[in-house]
Protein backbone atom coordinates (compact mmCIF):
# COMPACT_ATOMS: atom_id res chain seq x y z
CA UNK A 1 0.00 0.00 0.00
CA UNK A 2 1.17 3.53 -0.69
CA UNK A 3 1.48 5.97 2.22
CA UNK A 4 -1.60 7.77 0.86
CA UNK A 5 -3.62 4.54 0.72
CA UNK A 6 -2.71 3.87 4.35
CA UNK A 7 -3.99 7.35 5.23
CA UNK A 8 -7.25 6.57 3.40
CA UNK A 9 -7.61 3.34 5.40
CA UNK A 10 -6.93 5.18 8.67
CA UNK A 11 -9.61 7.74 7.77
CA UNK A 12 -12.20 4.98 7.43
CA UNK A 13 -11.16 3.41 10.71
CA UNK A 14 -11.28 6.72 12.57
CA UNK A 15 -14.76 7.37 11.19
CA UNK A 16 -15.73 3.97 12.59
CA UNK A 17 -14.24 4.92 15.94
CA UNK A 18 -16.04 8.27 15.98
CA UNK A 19 -19.29 6.36 15.33
CA UNK A 20 -18.69 4.43 18.56
CA UNK A 21 -16.52 1.49 17.45
CA UNK A 22 -13.59 0.07 19.40
CA UNK A 23 -10.25 0.68 17.70
CA UNK A 24 -8.81 -2.85 18.11
CA UNK A 25 -12.00 -4.46 16.81
CA UNK A 26 -12.16 -2.06 13.87
CA UNK A 27 -8.53 -2.85 13.00
CA UNK A 28 -9.16 -6.60 13.21
CA UNK A 29 -12.23 -6.33 10.98
CA UNK A 30 -10.32 -4.15 8.53
CA UNK A 31 -7.47 -6.67 8.30
CA UNK A 32 -9.92 -9.52 7.64
CA UNK A 33 -11.65 -7.53 4.91
CA UNK A 34 -8.38 -6.40 3.27
CA UNK A 35 -6.24 -9.53 3.09
CA UNK A 36 -3.92 -7.95 0.50
CA UNK A 37 -2.52 -5.67 3.20
CA UNK A 38 0.79 -6.96 4.58
CA UNK A 39 1.97 -6.85 8.16
CA UNK A 40 3.89 -3.62 7.46
CA UNK A 41 0.71 -1.97 6.13
CA UNK A 42 -1.34 -3.15 9.09
CA UNK A 43 1.25 -1.89 11.56
CA UNK A 44 1.52 1.48 9.81
CA UNK A 45 -2.27 1.93 9.71
CA UNK A 46 -2.52 0.95 13.38
CA UNK A 47 0.12 3.53 14.26
CA UNK A 48 -1.74 6.24 12.31
CA UNK A 49 -5.03 5.43 14.08
CA UNK A 50 -3.52 5.32 17.56
CA UNK A 51 -1.35 8.40 16.99
CA UNK A 52 -4.49 10.29 15.98
CA UNK A 53 -6.49 8.97 18.95
CA UNK A 54 -3.78 9.93 21.45
CA UNK A 55 -3.92 13.49 20.10
CA UNK A 56 -7.56 13.53 19.13
CA UNK A 57 -8.42 17.04 20.33
CA UNK A 58 -5.43 18.77 18.80
CA UNK A 59 -5.55 16.93 15.47
CA UNK A 60 -9.27 17.67 15.12
CA UNK A 61 -8.56 21.34 15.82
CA UNK A 62 -5.62 21.44 13.39
CA UNK A 63 -7.60 19.58 10.75
CA UNK A 64 -10.75 21.67 11.14
CA UNK A 65 -13.37 19.14 12.25
CA UNK A 66 -14.33 15.92 14.00
CA UNK A 67 -14.15 13.44 11.13
CA UNK A 68 -11.56 10.81 10.28
CA UNK A 69 -10.51 12.90 7.30
CA UNK A 70 -10.00 16.05 9.38
CA UNK A 71 -8.10 14.04 12.00
CA UNK A 72 -5.68 12.76 9.37
CA UNK A 73 -5.27 16.24 7.88
CA UNK A 74 -4.58 17.52 11.40
CA UNK A 75 -2.15 14.71 12.19
CA UNK A 76 -0.10 15.50 9.08
CA UNK A 77 -0.11 19.21 9.92
CA UNK A 78 0.99 18.40 13.49
CA UNK A 79 3.93 16.50 11.99
CA UNK A 80 4.83 19.48 9.82
CA UNK A 81 3.78 17.67 6.64
CA UNK A 82 1.62 19.22 3.93
CA UNK A 83 -1.57 17.08 3.62
CA UNK A 84 -1.87 18.04 -0.05
CA UNK A 85 1.11 15.85 -0.93
CA UNK A 86 -0.89 12.75 0.13
CA UNK A 87 -4.49 13.89 -0.43
CA UNK A 88 -4.15 13.71 -4.22
CA UNK A 89 -7.13 11.58 -5.23
CA UNK A 90 -4.79 9.42 -7.31
CA UNK A 91 -5.03 5.64 -7.00
CA UNK A 92 -6.22 4.84 -3.47
CA UNK A 93 -5.27 8.24 -2.03
CA UNK A 94 -7.89 10.38 -0.27
CA UNK A 95 -9.60 13.06 -2.37
CA UNK A 96 -7.76 16.39 -2.73
CA UNK A 97 -8.36 19.01 -0.06
CA UNK A 98 -11.32 21.29 -0.67
CA UNK A 99 -10.86 25.05 -0.48
CA UNK A 100 -12.40 25.11 3.00
CA UNK A 101 -10.14 22.28 4.16
CA UNK A 102 -7.12 24.13 2.83
CA UNK A 103 -8.03 27.22 4.82
CA UNK A 104 -9.58 25.40 7.78
CA UNK A 105 -8.13 24.33 11.11
CA UNK A 106 -6.42 26.40 13.76
CA UNK A 107 -2.72 27.24 13.55
CA UNK A 108 -0.80 25.29 16.27
CA UNK A 109 -0.01 28.49 18.19
CA UNK A 110 -3.73 29.27 18.58
CA UNK A 111 -4.74 25.96 20.22
CA UNK A 112 -6.23 26.49 23.71
CA UNK A 113 -4.20 24.85 26.50
CA UNK A 114 -6.39 21.77 27.05
CA UNK A 115 -6.65 21.22 23.29
CA UNK A 116 -2.89 21.55 22.76
CA UNK A 117 -2.13 19.01 25.52
CA UNK A 118 -5.02 16.71 24.47
CA UNK A 119 -6.69 16.68 27.86
CA UNK A 120 -10.40 15.85 28.04
CA UNK A 121 -12.47 18.66 29.60
CA UNK A 122 -14.42 16.39 31.94
CA UNK A 123 -11.46 14.99 33.87
CA UNK A 124 -9.19 18.03 33.48
CA UNK A 125 -9.96 19.51 36.94
CA UNK A 126 -9.17 16.20 38.69
CA UNK A 127 -5.99 15.70 36.67
CA UNK A 128 -4.81 19.27 37.19
CA UNK A 129 -5.50 19.05 40.90
CA UNK A 130 -3.81 15.65 41.23
CA UNK A 131 -0.73 16.39 39.14
CA UNK A 132 -0.10 19.97 40.29
CA UNK A 133 2.98 21.47 38.64
CA UNK A 134 3.45 18.32 36.50
CA UNK A 135 0.01 18.59 34.88
CA UNK A 136 1.07 19.93 31.48
CA UNK A 137 4.23 17.85 31.15
CA UNK A 138 2.36 14.64 32.05
CA UNK A 139 -0.44 15.42 29.61
CA UNK A 140 2.17 16.08 26.92
CA UNK A 141 3.87 12.74 27.73
CA UNK A 142 0.51 10.98 27.33
CA UNK A 143 0.34 12.24 23.72
CA UNK A 144 3.33 10.07 22.76
CA UNK A 145 3.62 6.36 22.00
CA UNK A 146 4.54 4.25 25.01
CA UNK A 147 7.83 2.37 24.99
CA UNK A 148 7.71 -1.44 24.87
CA UNK A 149 8.91 -2.92 28.15
CA UNK A 150 9.70 -6.50 29.06
CA UNK A 151 9.85 -8.12 32.46
CA UNK A 152 12.57 -10.68 32.78
CA UNK A 153 11.49 -13.81 34.57
CA UNK A 154 13.91 -13.66 37.50
CA UNK A 155 12.93 -17.19 38.52
CA UNK A 156 14.48 -18.49 35.30
CA UNK A 157 17.23 -16.15 34.21
CA UNK A 158 19.26 -13.01 34.79
CA UNK A 159 19.07 -9.64 33.07
CA UNK A 160 22.38 -10.26 31.27
CA UNK A 161 21.34 -13.72 30.03
CA UNK A 162 17.97 -12.51 28.79
CA UNK A 163 19.47 -9.50 27.03
CA UNK A 164 21.97 -11.75 25.28
CA UNK A 165 19.24 -14.23 24.23
CA UNK A 166 17.06 -11.41 22.89
CA UNK A 167 19.99 -9.79 21.06
CA UNK A 168 20.60 -13.07 19.20
CA UNK A 169 17.05 -12.77 17.88
CA UNK A 170 17.54 -9.17 16.78
CA UNK A 171 15.82 -7.58 19.81
CA UNK A 172 17.88 -4.85 21.43
CA UNK A 173 17.07 -3.82 25.01
CA UNK A 174 18.36 -1.72 27.85
CA UNK A 175 17.67 -1.95 31.58
CA UNK A 176 15.22 0.58 32.97
CA UNK A 177 15.59 2.28 36.36
CA UNK A 178 11.93 1.75 37.34
CA UNK A 179 12.50 -1.92 38.19
CA UNK A 180 15.43 -4.34 38.36
CA UNK A 181 13.45 -6.73 36.13
CA UNK A 182 12.50 -4.13 33.49
CA UNK A 183 14.03 -3.99 30.02
CA UNK A 184 13.08 -1.31 27.50
CA UNK A 185 13.05 -2.59 23.93
CA UNK A 186 15.03 -0.23 21.72
CA UNK A 187 14.92 -2.31 18.51
CA UNK A 188 12.89 -5.24 17.21
CA UNK A 189 9.78 -4.79 19.40
CA UNK A 190 7.56 -6.50 16.84
CA UNK A 191 9.71 -9.65 17.08
CA UNK A 192 9.23 -10.14 20.82
CA UNK A 193 6.11 -12.32 20.82
CA UNK A 194 7.55 -14.63 18.17
CA UNK A 195 10.91 -14.98 19.91
CA UNK A 196 12.34 -18.07 21.59
CA UNK A 197 12.99 -16.02 24.73
CA UNK A 198 9.25 -15.30 24.94
CA UNK A 199 8.23 -18.89 24.13
CA UNK A 200 10.58 -20.20 26.82
CA UNK A 201 9.09 -17.91 29.46
CA UNK A 202 12.22 -15.81 29.93
CA UNK A 203 10.29 -12.60 29.34
CA UNK A 204 6.78 -11.18 29.51
CA UNK A 205 5.58 -7.93 28.01
CA UNK A 206 4.82 -5.66 30.97
CA UNK A 207 5.09 -1.95 31.57
CA UNK A 208 8.05 -0.96 33.75
CA UNK A 209 5.86 0.94 36.23
CA UNK A 210 3.55 -2.06 36.54
CA UNK A 211 6.66 -4.05 37.50
CA UNK A 212 7.62 -1.37 40.01
CA UNK A 213 4.17 -1.78 41.60
CA UNK A 214 4.76 -5.52 42.00
CA UNK A 215 8.22 -4.77 43.41
CA UNK A 216 6.86 -2.88 46.43
CA UNK A 217 4.40 -5.62 47.37
CA UNK A 218 5.77 -7.55 50.38
CA UNK A 219 5.75 -11.28 49.56
CA UNK A 220 6.77 -13.19 52.70
CA UNK A 221 8.95 -16.29 52.28
CA UNK A 222 6.65 -19.30 52.44
CA UNK A 223 3.59 -17.04 52.59
CA UNK A 224 0.18 -17.14 50.89
CA UNK A 225 -0.61 -14.48 48.31
CA UNK A 226 -3.96 -13.66 46.69
CA UNK A 227 -4.33 -11.45 43.62
CA UNK A 228 -7.94 -10.34 44.15
CA UNK A 229 -8.31 -8.57 40.76
CA UNK A 230 -6.01 -10.75 38.68
CA UNK A 231 -7.36 -10.03 35.17
CA UNK A 232 -4.83 -11.33 32.63
CA UNK A 233 -2.40 -11.91 35.49
CA UNK A 234 0.30 -9.30 34.86
CA UNK A 235 0.77 -8.58 38.57
CA UNK A 236 0.18 -12.19 39.62
CA UNK A 237 2.98 -13.42 37.38
CA UNK A 238 5.35 -10.63 38.39
CA UNK A 239 4.79 -11.59 42.02
CA UNK A 240 4.94 -15.34 41.34
CA UNK A 241 8.44 -14.95 39.89
CA UNK A 242 9.39 -14.61 43.56
CA UNK A 243 9.53 -18.27 44.42
CA UNK A 244 8.85 -19.63 47.89
CA UNK A 245 5.27 -18.36 48.31
CA UNK A 246 1.96 -19.80 47.04
CA UNK A 247 -0.18 -17.76 44.69
CA UNK A 248 -3.93 -17.64 44.11
CA UNK A 249 -5.64 -15.53 41.46
CA UNK A 250 -9.24 -14.32 41.52
CA UNK A 251 -11.30 -12.01 39.35
CA UNK A 252 -14.96 -11.03 39.49
CA UNK A 253 -15.00 -11.77 35.76
CA UNK A 254 -13.21 -15.15 35.67
CA UNK A 255 -13.09 -15.11 31.85
CA UNK A 256 -10.49 -12.37 32.13
CA UNK A 257 -8.12 -14.92 33.66
CA UNK A 258 -8.46 -17.30 30.71
CA UNK A 259 -4.86 -16.78 29.51
CA UNK A 260 -3.36 -16.93 32.99
CA UNK A 261 -2.81 -20.72 33.23
CA UNK A 262 -0.93 -20.79 29.90
CA UNK A 263 1.12 -17.72 30.81
CA UNK A 264 1.95 -19.22 34.21
CA UNK A 265 2.95 -22.51 32.59
CA UNK A 266 5.24 -20.69 30.16
CA UNK A 267 6.88 -18.87 33.07
CA UNK A 268 7.10 -22.01 35.21
CA UNK A 269 5.00 -20.24 37.87
CA UNK A 270 2.48 -22.00 40.09
CA UNK A 271 -0.74 -20.02 40.29
CA UNK A 272 -4.17 -21.37 41.24
CA UNK A 273 -7.22 -19.59 39.86
CA UNK A 274 -9.93 -19.46 42.53
CA UNK A 275 -13.64 -18.62 42.32
CA UNK A 276 -14.13 -18.16 46.06
CA UNK A 277 -11.10 -16.41 47.55
CA UNK A 278 -12.58 -16.56 51.08
CA UNK A 279 -12.20 -20.36 51.02
CA UNK A 280 -8.40 -20.00 51.09
CA UNK A 281 -8.24 -17.12 53.62
CA UNK A 282 -6.37 -15.81 55.47
CA UNK A 283 -3.57 -14.65 53.18
CA UNK A 284 -0.30 -12.94 54.07
CA UNK A 285 -0.70 -10.58 51.13
CA UNK A 286 -3.84 -9.66 49.18
CA UNK A 287 -3.24 -7.38 46.23
CA UNK A 288 -6.09 -5.37 44.70
CA UNK A 289 -5.11 -3.97 41.29
CA UNK A 290 -8.51 -2.36 40.97
CA UNK A 291 -10.47 -1.21 37.91
CA UNK A 292 -9.81 2.51 37.40
CA UNK A 293 -9.94 5.31 34.84
CA UNK A 294 -6.65 4.02 33.41
CA UNK A 295 -5.53 7.63 33.07
CA UNK A 296 -1.89 6.62 33.67
CA UNK A 297 -2.04 4.30 30.67
CA UNK A 298 -3.73 6.60 28.16
CA UNK A 299 -0.68 6.31 25.86
CA UNK A 300 -1.54 2.62 25.38
CA UNK A 301 -5.32 2.96 25.60
CA UNK A 302 -6.10 6.41 24.20
CA UNK A 303 -9.77 5.57 23.61
CA UNK A 304 -10.34 5.63 27.37
CA UNK A 305 -9.08 9.22 27.46
CA UNK A 306 -12.04 10.38 25.40
CA UNK A 307 -14.68 7.96 26.64
CA UNK A 308 -14.19 8.12 30.42
CA UNK A 309 -16.48 10.65 32.07
CA UNK A 310 -16.60 12.23 35.56
CA UNK A 311 -19.61 9.95 36.21
CA UNK A 312 -17.36 6.95 35.41
CA UNK A 313 -14.79 8.28 37.86
CA UNK A 314 -17.44 8.57 40.58
CA UNK A 315 -18.68 5.03 39.88
CA UNK A 316 -15.15 3.62 39.83
CA UNK A 317 -14.23 5.14 43.18
CA UNK A 318 -17.27 3.36 44.69
CA UNK A 319 -16.19 0.07 43.10
CA UNK A 320 -12.62 0.53 44.39
CA UNK A 321 -13.80 1.20 47.95
CA UNK A 322 -16.05 -1.87 47.81
CA UNK A 323 -13.20 -4.10 46.63
CA UNK A 324 -10.91 -2.89 49.42
CA UNK A 325 -13.64 -3.50 52.01
CA UNK A 326 -14.24 -7.05 50.74
CA UNK A 327 -10.54 -7.90 50.41
CA UNK A 328 -9.43 -6.57 53.81
CA UNK A 329 -11.01 -9.38 55.91
CA UNK A 330 -9.10 -11.93 53.81
CA UNK A 331 -5.77 -10.60 55.14
CA UNK A 332 -4.20 -12.44 58.07
CA UNK A 333 -3.39 -10.47 61.24
CA UNK A 334 0.01 -8.88 60.58
CA UNK A 335 -0.47 -9.37 56.83
CA UNK A 336 -0.64 -6.78 54.06
CA UNK A 337 -3.23 -5.42 51.67
CA UNK A 338 -1.74 -4.09 48.44
CA UNK A 339 -3.68 -1.47 46.50
CA UNK A 340 -2.82 -0.42 42.95
CA UNK A 341 -4.26 1.60 40.09
CA UNK A 342 -2.94 2.76 36.73
CA UNK A 343 -4.54 6.12 37.46
CA UNK A 344 -3.11 9.58 37.95
CA UNK A 345 -6.21 10.83 39.78
CA UNK A 346 -5.99 11.33 43.54
CA UNK A 347 -9.59 10.30 44.18
CA UNK A 348 -8.64 6.80 43.00
CA UNK A 349 -5.27 6.77 44.75
CA UNK A 350 -4.21 8.47 47.97
CA UNK A 351 -7.77 9.62 48.76
CA UNK A 352 -9.03 6.05 48.38
CA UNK A 353 -6.39 4.76 50.78
CA UNK A 354 -7.06 7.56 53.29
CA UNK A 355 -10.79 6.77 53.17
CA UNK A 356 -10.05 3.06 53.77
CA UNK A 357 -7.90 3.90 56.80
CA UNK A 358 -10.67 6.15 58.12
CA UNK A 359 -13.22 3.32 57.76
CA UNK A 360 -11.08 0.52 59.23
CA UNK A 361 -9.27 0.39 62.56
CA UNK A 362 -6.13 -1.68 62.97
CA UNK A 363 -4.47 -0.77 59.66
CA UNK A 364 -1.66 1.59 58.75
CA UNK A 365 0.00 2.75 55.54
CA UNK A 366 3.38 1.03 55.25
CA UNK A 367 4.53 2.11 51.78
CA UNK A 368 3.26 4.19 48.89
CA UNK A 369 4.52 4.92 45.37
CA UNK A 370 3.25 7.35 42.76
CA UNK A 371 4.56 7.10 39.22
CA UNK A 372 3.79 9.19 36.16
CA UNK A 373 4.92 8.78 32.54
CA UNK A 374 7.63 11.34 33.36
CA UNK A 375 9.54 8.42 34.92
CA UNK A 376 9.26 6.54 31.60
CA UNK A 377 6.59 3.92 32.39
CA UNK A 378 2.84 4.31 32.67
CA UNK A 379 1.28 6.28 35.51
CA UNK A 380 0.65 4.03 38.49
CA UNK A 381 -0.18 4.33 42.16
CA UNK A 382 0.59 1.62 44.71
CA UNK A 383 0.10 1.41 48.45
CA UNK A 384 0.81 -1.28 51.02
CA UNK A 385 -1.55 -1.32 54.01
CA UNK A 386 -0.43 -3.38 56.99
CA UNK A 387 -2.93 -5.08 59.28
CA UNK A 388 -2.17 -5.04 62.96
CA UNK A 389 -0.76 -8.36 64.17
CA UNK A 390 -2.86 -10.74 66.28
CA UNK A 391 -0.63 -10.21 69.31
CA UNK A 392 -0.85 -6.38 69.29
Ligand X SMILES: C[S@@+](CC[C@H](N)C(=O)[O-])C[C@H]1O[C@@H](n2cnc3c(N)ncnc32)[C@H](O)[C@@H]1O
Q: Which residues are annotated as a binding site for S-adenosyl-L-methionine?
A: 251, 289
Map residue 108 onto helix, strand or coil.
Answer: helix
Q: Is 323 in the site for ligand X (CB under 6 A)?
A: yes
Least separation, in Å, of the C-beta of 352 and ligand X? Answer: 14
**What whole-number distance in Å separates Cα of residue 56 and Cα of residue 208?**
26
Q: Which of 284, 274, 296 is nearest to 242 (CA)?
A: 284
Site string for ligand X, 301-320 (x = CB under 6 A): ------------------x-
- Residues, the chain, total? 392
Nearer to ligand X, 184 or 348 (CB): 348
Q: Which of 351, 362, 373, 221 is nearest to 383 (CA)?
A: 351
| CB-neighbour burial class of residue 104 (10 A; exposed 0-12, middle 13-18, buried 19+) | middle
Interface size with ligand X, residues (CB under 6 A): 16
Contacts of 4 (CB under 8 A, 6+ apart): 86, 87, 88, 90, 91, 92, 93, 94
The dihedral built from the CA positions of residue 292, 295, 300 and 301, taken in this order, carries a sign that is: positive
DSSP one-letter code for 312? H
Give me the torsion for CA of 69, 53, 132, 373, rounded to 10°.
Answer: -140
Site string for ligand X, 199-238 (x = CB under 6 A): -----------------------------xxxxxxxx---
Least separation, in Å, of the C-beta of 307 and ligand X? Answer: 16
Q: Could you list the residues known to form a binding site, using ranges.
A: 251, 289
Nearer to ligand X, 22 or 319 (CB): 319
Nearer to ligand X, 101 or 289 (CB): 289
Least separation, in Å, of the C-beta of 178 and ligand X? Answer: 15
The one among 64, 94, 291, 377 contacting ligand X by CB under 6 A: 291
- Binding residues among 245-284 for ligand X as defined by CB under 6 A: 251-253, 256
The yes-or-no answer on residue 288 being catalytic is: no
**What whole-number distance in Å separates Cα of residue 29 and Cα of residue 273?**
32
Q: Is 300 in the site for ligand X (CB under 6 A)?
A: no
Least separation, in Å, of the C-beta of 294 and ligand X? Answer: 8
Q: Out of 70, 288, 342, 392, which one is annotated catalytic?
A: 342
Q: Which residues are catalytic?
A: 342
Residues forming the site for ligand X (CB under 6 A): 228-235, 251-253, 256, 289, 291, 319, 323
Amino acid sequence: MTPAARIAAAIGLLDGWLAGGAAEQLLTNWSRANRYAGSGDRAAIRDLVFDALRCRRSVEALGGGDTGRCMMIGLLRARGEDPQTLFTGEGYAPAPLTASEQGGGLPPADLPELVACDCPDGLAPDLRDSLGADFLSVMQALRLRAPVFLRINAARSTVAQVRAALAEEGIATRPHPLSPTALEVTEGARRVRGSQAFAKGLVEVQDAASQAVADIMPVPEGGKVLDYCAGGGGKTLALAARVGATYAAHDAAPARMRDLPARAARAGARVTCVQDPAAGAPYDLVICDVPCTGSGAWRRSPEAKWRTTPADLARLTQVQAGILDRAAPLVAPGGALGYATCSLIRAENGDQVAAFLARHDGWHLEAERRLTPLQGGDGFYAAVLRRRGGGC
